[in-house]
Chains A and B, each alone.
Chain A
Amino acid sequence: KNQVEQSPQSLIILEGKNCTLQCNYTVSPFSNLRWYKQDTGRGPVSLTIMTFSENTKSNGRYTATLDADTKQSSLHITASQLSDSASYICVVSLSGYALNFGKGTSLLVTP
């Protein structure tokens, strides 16, 4: 069974601080890895998409990294804002349409 494990489950940080979320996967063969942001009660919104040949991808203050050899990815958030409070979901794709979702990391940014 393909697995996508995210850590930590939840995280609380102060506004302005940086943080890093982790994603480990055992999906094989690997096609691409996506990070989504999901605000409470809303649909997920795509942050980054990386293929196996890409090591890093940025979207504003969000930077995703990928190590296909160790099957690990991270999402780094720089200078956090209150609006970053959300769930962050790692999704690993086998072939593009078969998506394996992690359970997400719940981030709370406090003033």
Chain B
Amino acid sequence: EAQVTQNPRYLITVTGKKLTVTCSQNMNHEYMSWYRQDPGLGLRQIYYSMNVEVTDKGDVPEGYKVSRKEKRNFPLILESPSPNQTSLYFCASSRLAGGTDTQYFGPGTRLTVL
């Protein structure tokens, strides 16, 4: 089954404790992206990747890091989480970055930073 998976689905952590949210897709997609969703603000792009070893900042990259060493994986790293990073995070992928390719979203990771 074609899908985007994220782990963990739920995470409660404390300020300053490094964490990684994994994202994996099995569709051989080139483009992957991370979003955060907050009430009243909608979805905002954190980082995106056009292909392996090619990443770029989205609208809200501060406090986050990403890497794309393999085509299927695109982990989101919070080196020193803070309470304002409490949010619902979505990973997404599409075949290509441009054009009208459908973007597939993962199920989401709900992160709480205390």
Contact flags (1/0) for B21-58 with A, using CB distance below 8 Å?
Answer: 00000000001010000001111110010100000000
How many A residues have CB within 8 A of the partner chain? 21
B contact residues, range:
20 to 34
| CA–CA, A104 and B103, complex, Å | 17
A43 x B108 contact (CB < 8 A): yes
Stretch in contact with the other chain, from B62-70, B72-80, B91-99: B91-99
**B81 in contact (CB, < 8 A):** no
The residue from A43, A44, A97, A103 contacting B48, defined by CB atoms under 8 A apart: A97
Interfacial chain A residues near B50, Cβ < 8 Å: 97
Tell me the minimal C-beta distance from B10 to chain A in angstroms: 11
* Chain A 22-41 residues near chain B, CB threshold 8 A: 31-32, 34, 41
Contact flags (1/0) for A68-109 with B, using CB distance below 8 Å?
Answer: 000000000000000000000100000111010111100000
Assess A95 versus B42: contact at CB under 8 Å? Given A43-B90, A43-B92, A46-B103. Answer: no
Tell me the minimal C-beta distance from A55 to chain B in angstroms: 15
A43 x B107 contact (CB < 8 A): yes
B102 x A89 contact (CB < 8 A): no
| CA–CA, A93 and B56, complex, Å | 16
Tell me the minimal C-beta distance from B110 to chain A in angstroms: 8
Interfacial chain B residues near A32, Cβ < 8 Å: 99-100
B42 x A104 contact (CB < 8 A): yes
| CA–CA, A88 and B33, complex, Å | 20
A97 x B108 contact (CB < 8 A): no
Binding site for B on A (CB under 8 A): 31-32, 34, 41-46, 49-51, 89, 95-97, 99, 101-104
